[in-house]
Amino acid sequence: MSSGWKWLDKNGNPIISYNEGYNSFAKSIPTTDGMNDTLNDLTPTDNLFFDDDPININQVAQEIATNNKAKSKGSTISLKTIFCPPGKLQLLSSSTNELIDVIGSHMIQPPSLNYINAINYAVAKYNGGNLFATLLQLQSADIKNEVEVGRGLTIDMINKIITHVSKHTTDPRCKYYFDFDKLLSHVEGLILNLFQDQYISQLQLKPTEDELLLSYAKYLFSDYTGDEPIDGSGRMAKLQEMFEQINEAGIGVYIVTNNPSAARSIGMSNERRLFIKLIKILFPTFTDDHLICSKTNADRNKGVIIVNINDPSRLSMGLAEIFPKGGMTRTKHRKSKRRYKVSSVHTANKKKQRNSKRYKNKRPFL
C-alpha cells in the first residue's frame, strides 16, 4: 500500500488542499509515494514534524515561516513538516494471518472503498486475545467502540525513517516532533482510568501495572490483533527499532499532542505518569519533559510550542515554562509552616512591638 506522504510546497502551503472538509480531502489522497524524493531533499540539520492532521501541519509551517522571517539567518529553524494522511486501516489476524479491515464511526475514507468483513478495532483486538481489550469488554455488554481509528505511521513509512537516520550523518542538535493519537497509535485518545484497582480486580488473573501497560501498548501500536511475530516485522517492533535508531543518532525526540492525559495540570499527574510509561515501552530512553500537551497551550498551536523549544531564551527556563502566558496550568503550592519552635520570650517581645506600633498609629497629633 502506498504511504502517500507529501510535503508542503515552497510557500508553506499544503500540497493537498483542505478546503472542503475531511471527506473530500480523503478523496484527494495521492496514490503515488513521494517519500523517497522527500528524504533525498533533507539536510543533516533538518528538524522534522510528523502529524496526521493537516491543520496542525499548516499551523506549524506558518509559525516556522513567521519565526524565520523575523530572525537573523543564524537563528532560524530548519524544519520540514511531514503530513501522514489518514488511510485505510488493516490489522493482521494473529491466528489466521489474514488482513482484517477495521472501521470506526468517524473513519476518514473515500466513499468508494468497500469494506468486506470489516470489524471494529476493539473487537478485532479482543478476538486476538489482547488483555486490555478483555478489560474493556468487562466494562459493558458491548465492547467499547473506538470511534476514531487511523493507520498512522505505516511500516513502509517507519522503514524509510530508519533507513534515512541510519545512512545519514545527522546533526545532534536535530529534533523530531511526533503527534501521538492516530500517528504513533491507531486510535484517538487514551483510556487510562481502567488502570485503577477497581477495574483490574474484575480480571481472573490480576496483572501488574506493567503487564497491563504492555498489553495496552500492543492494543495501541501493533498492526496485529494479538502478539506480533518474533522476527520483529510487526508495527510495534518497527516503532521500537525506529526510536532506537533515532536515539543512536543523537536526535532529540518530542511528542507534542492535544491528548489531555499529557497535561501537567492538577489531577492529571497519574495519567501523565502512565502516558510516559506507555511511551517508554516504545522508546525506553524517552525524556519525560519531552511529552508536551499542546491542549494547555493558549491557542493549541503546535507551531508556537516548537518555536519556543528552539528559542534559547525560552529553553533556558526549562520545558515547563515554554508555554505562552496563560497556557500552562500550574499547581499552586502553599507556603510551608515553620517547623522550628519559637521561644516564649521571643513571642512576648513580638507582641510588645506590635502593641507599641498600634499605639503610635492611633494616638492623636499634638
Grid cell locating 52: 496526521
CB 213 within 8 A of CB 277: yes
Q: What is the DSSP letter of 229?
A: P
Task: Tell me what pLDDT residue 86 has.
Answer: 79
Grid cell at residue 241:
527499532
Instruction: Point out which residues pair with 99 in neighbouring strands.
Output: 92
Quick one: pLDDT at residue 106?
Answer: 55
Q: Where is 58: in which H helix or E strand? A: helix 54-70
Give the DSSP per-residue string, 14-76.
BSS--SSHHHHHHHT--SS--HHHHHHH--TT-EEEEES-HHHHHHHHHHHHHHHHHS-GGG-
Look up cell 516532533; give the residue: 177
pLDDT digits (tens, 9 = 90+) for 91-120: 999 888 889 888 875 554 444 444 446 788
Cα of first residue to Cα of last residue in the chain, in angstroms, is: 97
pLDDT the model gives residue 45: 72
Per-residue pLDDT of the chain (366 residues; tens, 9 = 90+): 333 333 333 344 443 332 222 232 333 333 333 455 566 677 767 889 999 999 999 999 999 999 888 876 667 888 888 888 878 889 999 888 889 888 875 554 444 444 446 788 998 999 999 999 999 888 875 566 677 888 999 999 999 889 888 876 666 678 999 999 999 999 999 999 889 888 888 888 889 999 999 999 999 999 999 999 999 999 999 999 999 999 998 899 999 999 999 988 766 789 999 999 999 999 999 999 999 998 766 557 899 899 888 876 654 444 444 444 333 333 333 344 444 344 444 555 555 555 554 444 443 333
Cell numbers 509551517 correspond to 61
Distances in Å between the Cα of 121 and the Cα atoms of 127, 180, 209, 226 are 10, 17, 23, 12
Query: Whole-structure pTM over 0.85, yes or no?
Result: no
Are the beta carbons of 210 and 275 closer than 8 angstroms? no
The pLDDT assigned to 234 comes to: 95
The per-residue pLDDT for 354 is 54
Q: What pLDDT is recorded for position 268?
A: 76
- pLDDT computed for residue 169 by the predictor: 66
* Contact in structure between 128 and 225 (CB atoms under 8 Å): yes
Taking residue 12's Cβ as centre, other Cβ atoms within 10 Å add up to: 16
All three cell numbers of 28: 484527494
**Which pLDDT score, from 0 to 100, does residue 297 have?**
61
Cα dist from 337 to 11, 75, 331, 345, whole Å:
58, 46, 18, 20
**What's the confidence (pLDDT) of residue 176?**
94
pLDDT score, position 213:
96
- What is the SS3 assignment for 344? helix
- pLDDT of 215 reads 96
Picking from 77, 255, 280, 263, the residue whose alpha carbon sits closest to that of residue 176 is: 255
CA dist., res. 161 & res. 177, Å (int): 13
Residue type (1 letter), 216: Y
Q: What confidence score (pLDDT) does residue 160 get?
A: 87
For residue 119, the model assigns a pLDDT of 83
- The pair phi, psi for residue 173, each rounded to 5°, is -80, -5
